Amino acid sequence: MFFEELLADDGRVEPRDEMPDAYRRLLVRQIAQHAHSEIIGMQPEGNWISRAPSLRRKAILMAKVQDEAGHGLYLYAAAETLGVDREDLLDQLHTGRQKYSSIFNYPTLTWADVGAIGWLVDGAAIVNQVPLCRCSYGPYGRAMVRVCKEESFHQRQGFEILHTLSHGTPAQQAMAQDAVDRYWWPALMMFGPPDADSPHSAQSMAWGIKRFSNDELRQRFIDMTVPQSEALGLSLPDPDLRWNEERGHYDSGAIDFTELTEVVSGRGPCNAQRMAHRVKAHEDGAWVREAASAYAAKQAAREGAA
Ligand SMILES: [Fe+2]
Ligand SMILES: [Fe+2]
């Protein structure tokens, strides 16, 4: 009863509060998938740290990739407040039982891709995540506040990279346009399937986890991004994109969701590579986890003796 009253009152559910098992399970699934996306998302851009075109760009990109590790950390910690173990969540990622955002299965072919990812992928992430700051589960909502502030820095740095390239030489302009052409549709797919085919959405909305539908958020992203593309002097690869005065929104072309299904099912361009890299990083980090546990045990023993 307490749970329903709290939700009706737009209150926050906290870790020790009573909550239905299905609510807990849905949150664990969503927060874990979100956390996995943050850390897998370090890879496409991490590829470019050693090849960033200047010291300034390198410093910014390193800070950005490090932020994503931090986002993973807040989110795994938020998931742990629901009674799950981080080791176990990572194991589910490594064995393919839990997913991460399919956007990170696309390759970063040129430096302009780092700009397109910041502008479009982090931009789409912000649109998805700002409403999560009001999520009914307290620890998740609070983690999202800081994540969103950092994402907005990521989006601006991407925009600035593309702005520099689109005002550069013809070759740089072409590189920027090519990156936008490749990332536009995958960024739109980040909002998930159309509302009619989104099985978890209704329950998620009823529980105050999700505040807007996939299609509403996708529309918001399109409306926000089209004027920005004009400021960049870059076009978006959709011939059907035009302002609809009556609706007060941009109309856009149909999305090829068969591609999304392919990538989500593990047949995207980089799925195997991303997973192999993640598992290796985890194995290589075993000694750090062992050392940290040994240190913690020693500290606890010392405190116990004192
Ligand atoms: Fe992030
Ligand atoms: Fe980001």
Three-state DSSP string of 224-289:
HHHHHHHHHCCCCCCCCCEEECCCCEEECCCCCHHHHHHHHHHHCCCHHHHHHHHHHHHHHCHHHH
Distance 150 CA to ligand 2 centre (A): 7
Which pLDDT score is estimated for 16? 92
Q: How far apart are CA 229 and CA 223, in angstroms?
A: 11
Distance 198 CA to ligand 2 centre (A): 25
Which pLDDT score is estimated for 10? 84
Percent residues over pLDDT 90 in the chain: 85
Which pLDDT score is estimated for 149? 94
Distance 210 CA to ligand 2 centre (A): 20
Which pLDDT score is estimated for 305? 79
Please state the pTM of the whole predicted model.
Answer: 0.93
Distance 135 CA to ligand 1 centre (A): 17
Which pLDDT score is estimated for 196? 85
* Nearest ligand by distance to the CA of 157: 2
Task: Please check whether residue 210 is in contact with residue 131, taking contact to mean a CB–CB distance below 8 angstroms.
Answer: yes
Distance 267 CA to ligand 1 centre (A): 24
Which pLDDT score is estimated for 226? 98
Which pLDDT score is estimated for 1? 57
Which pLDDT score is estimated for 18? 92
Distance 91 CA to ligand 1 centre (A): 21
Task: Please check whether residue 117 is in contact with residue 154, taking contact to mean a CB–CB distance below 8 angstroms.
Answer: no
Cβ-based neighbour number of residue 161 at 10 Å: 26
User: Each residue of 200-220: pLDDT tens digit?
Assistant: 788 888 899 999 999 999 999
- Cα 256 off chain centre by: 21
Q: What residue ranges of the chain have pLDDT lower than 70?
A: 1
Q: How far apart are CA 223 and CA 251, in angstroms?
A: 9
Distance 241 CA to ligand 2 centre (A): 26
Distance 34 CA to ligand 1 centre (A): 9
Which pLDDT score is estimated for 72? 97
Which tokens in the block code for residue 100? 């991460």
Distance 297 CA to ligand 1 centre (A): 32
Distance 127 CA to ligand 1 centre (A): 12
* Nearest ligand by distance to the CA of 37: 1
